[in-house]
Structures are given as structure tokens and as C-alpha cells.
């Protein structure tokens, strides 16, 4: 397997970087260290360090939902975000970052209101979407911005 045939995926549970063959993404790859699923269509909760590794280093696009537990629209959007994660897997990974627990990350990302979605690809921000959205809008936003 050539390096071009594999993507790097950061484990949302332990932060370990994993090389995954592109043609095996749909098979449900697991972290080599902790065994957590890497691209199974579930939304992963991130801490600050894992957020930084995934958004900078991952070979697949990452859509991060910046949210807080006290935010009503954030809580209302959570099931829609989960539906979008299933629809976009395994080619895009959807993750969440609690802005209350990690204010330094949200400040660095320039988050002014929540919920806020930021799409990252190849270590760079590609696009932003503000406000609570239904799954169809989230999927359309990602597809439109990834081409």
C-alpha cells in the first residue's frame, strides 16, 4: 500500500494518529491504540488537543459543531447533526467541541455565536455555517464546499 492510498485519522477518544487505507474506510476502521471507531458515522466529542490534531492533520474533511450545553438551539440541532454524520460517513467526519469546556479553542477559531459549524480540509478552514440547521442543510453545506 502506498502512502497516497491511505489517510491519517485522529482517534477522537485517545488522540492517536492512525493510517487507514482509503479503500477500507467503509469497513469501520478502529484505532490501533484504543480500538475506538474512526469513521463509523457517529459524532465524536472532542477535547482541545484532539480538536487541534484532527482539524490540522486528518486526511478526511472534518466538520466541527461548536456548541454549549446551555444553548437551546445547539441541543435542538444535535439529532440533526447526528443524521448528517451518518449521511456523510465515511468520507467526512463530524465532531463536536463544547465551547464552555474549551473556551480557548472557540476564541482561537473566532466563534462569535453558537451553534457554529466549521468545515476543515487539509488543515485549513474551508467554510462556516452559523445557526441551528436540519440535517439536509448540513449535508448540502458540506457537499457544496467540498465540490
Fold for the domain defined by 40-146: Glutaredoxin (3.40.30)
Cβ contacts of 36 within 8 Å, gap of 6 or more: 11, 12, 13, 14, 30
* pLDDT score at 129: 97
* pLDDT score at 147: 85
C-alpha cell at 36: 475506538
* pLDDT score at 110: 96
Active site positions, annotated: 71, 74
Query: Cα separation of 52 and 58, whole Å?
Result: 10
Give the number of other Cβ atoms within 10 Å of residue 37's Cβ: 15
pLDDT tens digits, 29-68: 999 999 999 999 999 999 999 999 999 999 999 999 999 9
* pLDDT score at 35: 96
Question: How large is the average pLDDT for residues 119-141?
Answer: 97
Question: How large is the average pLDDT for residues 64-93?
Answer: 97
Share of the chain above pLDDT 90, in %: 95
Sign of CA dihedral 54, 60, 63, 68: negative
Closest C-alpha to 99, from 76, 131, 69: 69
Per-residue 3-state assignment (H helix, E strand, C coil) for 35-50: CCECCCCCCEEECHHH
Amino acid at each position: 500500500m502506498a502512502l497516497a492510498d491511505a489517510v491519517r485519522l485522529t482517534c477522537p477518544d485517545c488522540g492517536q494518529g492512525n493510517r487507514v487505507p482509503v479503500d477500507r474506510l467503509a469497513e469501520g476502521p478502529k484505532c490501533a491504540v484504543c480500538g475506538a471507531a474512526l469513521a463509523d458515522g457517529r459524532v465524536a466529542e472532542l477535547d482541545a488537543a484532539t480538536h487541534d490534531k484532527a482539524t490540522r492533520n486528518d486526511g478526511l474533511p472534518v466538520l466541527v459543531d461548536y456548541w454549549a450545553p446551555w444553548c437551546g438551539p445547539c441541543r435542538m440541532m444535535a439529532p440533526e447533526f447526528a443524521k448528517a454524520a451518518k449521511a456523510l460517513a465515511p468520507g467526512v467526519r463530524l465532531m463536536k467541541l463544547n465551547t464552555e469546556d474549551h473556551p480557548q479553542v472557540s476564541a482561537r477559531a473566532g466563534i462569535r455565536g453558537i451553534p457554529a459549524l466549521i468545515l476543515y480540509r487539509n488543515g485549513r478552514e474551508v467554510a462556516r455555517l452559523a445557526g441551528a440547521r436540519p440535517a439536509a442543510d448540513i449535508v448540502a453545506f458540506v457537499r457544496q464546499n467540498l465540490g
